Chain A
Amino acid sequence: MRRYYEEKNRFRVDAQMKIGLEEIPFEEVPPPPVATVFLQQHVGPAGRPLVKEKDHVKTGQKLSDGDEPLTVPVHSPVTGTVINFADLLHPVSGEKERAIVIEVDGDEEWEYMEIYQEPEKQSKDKIVERIREAGIVGLGGAAFPTHIKLSGQQVVDHLIINAKESDPNLACDVRLMLEKPEEITQGIEIIGRVLGVQKIMFATRTSEGELPRLEKVLHEKNITLAHIRPSYSVGSERLLVRELLGREVPPDKFPPDVGVVVHNVATCVAVAQAVIKGKPLIDRGLSFYSRETGGRNLWVRMGTPVEHILQYAGLKPENFDRVVLGSIMMGRGVPDIRVPLVKSIAGVVALTPQDEAPFENPYPCIRCGYCDLVCPVDIYPSLLLEASERGNTKFIKKLNVEACIDCSLCSYVCPSAIRVNPKQRIASN
């Protein structure tokens, strides 16, 4: 039986990769022999290295930090020796970025932060600083520093926990909800207390009764459980705010500008672990998919090369010609199988030459308008495509390309197999 998400105008997104994935518990992937830790794993300037070559580092030890407000530290995901600093291809930016290469050696040693057994007794500033110190960023994909979201000047009345996980290849958030409901609730409480919000909403696509433990604790904590319709596009932060509260976030603003803060459910777990256990953000859950293995949920340390994950899954890396990190709808393919994971990556999809490559042979646009019909933010991808090909910048501006949320639905439905994606296309032009 196939599974679909319903979009506008009766279009559907195939979510068959998800079938059965939610029932598969996390498996812990052993640390790789060599971990590659990028200094840049968040929105904002990278920190300065705090270690040097040949230094011995412990798991959880801070590797970099900086004074800029948006800078968050990165921590060693393994115990070992720093063998190199290098400029390597970054899995998200696609550019060469500074990385620390650590060779794993000896027994694992841990360097965690002080434990806050009663976080409610800590000051808000102390909690925010702890979250920054732990290197926590939004784990839904944006990698925006969490401490900035918690210390904004805007008046916020709603906290929304985004557990929608609408990407067709991801189910790791559902696994978190099944396996770590207490930590999720603790994280939500910590965030809610810092923000001082009136109302907390937990948005999920699951049906009532599917997450009994979590539903119970959320109910006890008076957190509203919002079951969202099964749609891929509503997983977007901006559309989720509109769906739940009817508030529209302008393209040049963020949810706090309309009184809402949105955090991913995985971020809540990271916050709880940082505050209550003193654990920095050095690992995360992700969903892995290949046709041979099907879907699996893995708990992986940052800096683990994709190659290591494939080998762990019992696959031969040389059999694959495409690897997508993150969402299969929004993530880019990486050029090198050894690129390491960073904090924002919630999924890995490995594709062989036998897997479909639907955009290989595009036809000219037939102006069927399917992209316009499915667009969840009501821009006109078809007209933007034409304007972009003609270099008509005036018309592009009129068509509000800035409202594009890069969801790729326009490309997904295109009968001419065109990667429409207006924002990316216009940015690259």
Chain B
Amino acid sequence: MVDSKKHSHPLRPDLPPHIASGESKNRVMMKTCVAMCIPAILGVAAIGWNALWQILIAVATVLVLHFIIQVWERSTERMITYPSPSSPLVLGMIVGLSMPASSPYAVTVGVAALAMVIFKYFQGRVLYRKYINPAAASKTVLLAILSIIILFEDPLRVGMIFHPHHLRLDMISAEGFANAVAFYQTDTMTAAQSLIFWKTHGWIGGASGVGVLITGVIASYWIKLKWRIPLAFLVVMTVLATTMGLFTGGDPVSRIALHVFTGSVIFLAFFMATEPQSTPMPERAQYLFGVLLAVFTFILQLGGVLGGSIIALVVLNVFTPLFDKFGHKRAVGLGGGKHVA
């Protein structure tokens, strides 16, 4: 008989599997950073060095706060919420790329800090998951705060994150819309061309709408992003813009250029609306998420809230647990298949 007492060499009875693909959270984050470098480079090329400073400030703010939080967690012997800086790095880049280059640096620091401390760290530590997109939530909160501040000061000086004069724009009539987009016209490009190819205003990450579109498609394939969300979002935005253009008698191309290729739509579509933790898992729910994101964003845009996609995203993020409950694929073996020859 085998005497178990003689056994002095216990083994680890691990559960399967015993090998892994080699993919890691850090690798996924670094791939996302690499993908975002393309819009960053395009932004700096289109807007200038100030765009680079904005990105670096946002990244530095987030990384410094990450370091401080880690030191505090270690000193108080708490579990480290984010052991690697890769995820904060992605957040910093998203914040930087979603800022206008003309934003005061203090505002960029504020958005990055709020995003990191409250909407990333607090959600991750206390709720064990990010229910809402940190960068979008942070910008939305600051937008609300600045909306109050602007009652007292020159909004263009304090904010640049939100332009109250946009609220007075007539985004519905053909004439009003033409006046609104004329701002983007340059010496060499029409407003539509500028919006689609090369803008010098708005979100740094959306400076080249086409550039972001191509990068986003490649990143979706490479990183396996939740591509159904940007697909549904951009298609519905295009359909709504075209319909609006035809309905009001304006130029549909200009409509598409503004409603689809503005930074707050095209950059958000690929790099914020696909944020994994705050978006639905079932495929059909992802499509619906994208459709509703488009509808809400479009309504806000028509109301003059041109960066309104972040608000729409935050609102929909809150309902992600509900989205997760429907639209599930049929599991193999559970009906629908052929059962006998």
Which A residues lie at the B interface, using CB under 8 A?
A: 9-14, 34, 36, 83-84, 86, 88, 94, 101, 157-158, 168, 238-239, 242, 245-251, 253, 258-259, 305, 317-318, 320-324, 327-338, 349, 351, 356-359, 363-370, 372-373, 376-380, 382-383, 395, 398-400, 403, 408, 411-417, 419, 421, 424
Q: Which of B4-12, B57-65, B141-149 contacts A (4 or more CB under 8 A)?
A: B4-12
- Contact B332–A238 (Cβ < 8 Å): yes
The one of A101, A330, A370 in contact with B2, judged by C-beta atoms closer than 8 angstroms, is: A101
> A367–B340 Cα gap in the complex (Å)?
37
How far apart sit A242 and B332, CA to CA, in the bound complex (Å)? 9
In the complex with contacts A332-B13, A336-B4, A359-B338 CB distance below 8 A? no
Residues in B whose Cβ lies below 8 Å from that of A13: 21
A-B contact pairs, 10 of them (CB 8 A): A11-B21, A258-B339, A258-B340, A334-B13, A370-B224, A376-B332, A380-B281, A403-B332, A412-B17, A421-B15
- Interface flag for B151 (CB, 8 Å): no
A320 pairs with B11, CB closer than 8 A: yes
Q: CB within 8 A of A248: which of B10, B11, B338? A: B338
Q: Is the CB of B2 within 8 A of A338?
A: yes
* CB proximity to A under 8 Å, residues B282-341: 282, 324-325, 328-334, 336-341
| From A327, A333, A368, A377, contact of B14 by CB (8 A) | A333
Please give 9 more A-B residue pairs, beta carbons under 8 A apart, in addition to A251-B331, A318-B9: A13-B21, A322-B14, A332-B15, A332-B16, A335-B11, A358-B20, A364-B128, A369-B226, A414-B23
Interface of B is mostly: loop
CA distance A94 to B14 in the complex (A): 11
B2, B21, B282, B328: the one within 8 Å of A14 (CB): B21
Residue ID in chain B nearest A327 by CB atoms: B16
- Expressed in whole angstroms, the minimum distance between the Cβ of B307 and any Cβ of chain A is 26
Query: Would A328 and B11 be within 8 Å (CB), given that A83-B1, A248-B333 are in contact?
Result: no
A413 touching B23 in the complex, CB below 8 Å, given contacts A383-B281, A408-B17: yes
Are B10 and A335 in contact, with the CB atoms below 8 A? yes
Which residue on chain B has the smallest CB distance to residue A338? Answer: B2
Tell me whether B78 is interfacial, beta carbon within 8 Å: no
- Distance in Å: Cβ of A51 to nearest Cβ of chain B: 15
Q: How far is the CA of A359 from the CA of B228 in the complex (A)?
A: 30
In the bound complex, residues from chain A placing their C-beta under 8 Å from that of B340 are 247, 258-259
Q: Is B188 an interface residue (CB 8 A)?
A: no
Whether A334 lies near B281 (C-beta < 8 A) is no
Known A248-B332, A383-B281; judge A412-B19 contact (CB<8 A). yes
Q: Which of B24-32, B41-49, B263-271 contacts A (4 or more CB under 8 A)?
A: B24-32
A261 to chain B, nearest CB (A): 13
- Chain B residue numbers with a CB within 8 Å of A9 are 224
* Chain B residues proximal to chain A, CB less than 8 Å: 1-2, 4, 7, 9-25, 27-28, 83, 124, 128-129, 224, 226, 276-277, 279, 281-282, 324-325, 328-334, 336-341
Q: Give the residues in chain B near A382, CB-CB below 8 Å.
A: 281
- Enumerate chain A residues within 8 angstroms of B18, measured Cβ to Cβ: 322, 324, 328-329, 331, 333, 349, 351
Q: How far is the CB of A365 from chain B (nearest CB, A)?
A: 8
Chain B residues whose C-beta falls within 8 Å of the C-beta of A324 in the assembled complex: 14, 16, 18
CB pair A411–B332 under 8 Å, yes or no, is: no
Report Cα–Cα, A413/B124, bound state, in Å: 22
Contact A158 B341, beta carbon cutoff 8 Å: yes
Give Cα distance in the complex from A365 to B281, angstroms.
13
Q: Which residue of B lies closest to A380 (CB)?
A: B281
Whether B11 and A333, one on each chain, are in contact in the complex, defined by CB atoms closer than 8 angstroms, is yes
Residues in A neighbouring B19, C-beta threshold 8 A = 14, 168, 328-329, 356, 358, 412
Q: Is the CB of B20 within 8 A of A36?
A: no
Report yes or no: A408 in contact with B281, Cβ–Cβ below 8 A: no
Least distance between B221 CB and chain A CB atoms (Å): 8
**Are A367 and B129 in contact, CB atoms less than 8 angstroms apart?**
yes
A329 — nearest CB in chain B belongs to which residue? B17
Closest residue on chain B to residue A410 by CB atoms: B17
What is the bound-complex CA distance between A370 and B21, given in angstroms? 11
CB distance from B14 to the nearest CB of A (A): 4
State whether A367 touches B23 (Cβ < 8 A). Answer: no
Complex contacts, B14 vs chain A, CB 8 Å:
322, 324, 332-333, 357, 359
Asked if A34 meets B281 with Cβ closer than 8 Å, knowing A14-B21, A317-B9, A336-B7, the reply is no
A379 touches B7 (CB 8 A): no
How far is A166 from B52 in the complex, measured between Cα atoms in Å?
50
Instruction: Determine the chain B residues whose CB is within 8 A of the CB of A377 once the complex forms.
Output: 331-333
Contact A415 B2 (CB under 8 A): no
Q: Tell me, rounded to whole Å, the shortest Cβ–Cβ distance linking B82 to chain A.
A: 9
CA distance A258 to B338 in the complex (A): 9
Residue of A nearest to B326 (CB): A398
* Given known A250-B334, A366-B25, contact A417–B224 (CB-CB < 8 A): no
Q: Is the CB of B17 within 8 A of A328?
A: yes
Contact of B281 with A369 in the complex, beta carbons under 8 Å: yes
Inside 8 A of A321's CB, which chain B residues have their CB? 11-12
Asked if B21 and A412 sit within 8 Å, CB to CB, the answer is yes
**CB-CB under 8 A for A34 and B2, given A336-B10, A378-B331:** yes
CB pair A338 B7 closer than 8 Å:
yes
List residues of chain A with CB within 8 A of the CB of B279. 367
The residues of B that contact A413 with a CB separation of less than 8 Å are 20-21, 23
Contacts of A336 in B (CB 8 A): 4, 7, 10-11
Report the separation of the CA atoms of residues A251 and B333 in the bound assembly, to the nearest whole angstrom: 6
The smallest beta-carbon distance between B329 and chain A, in angstroms, is 4
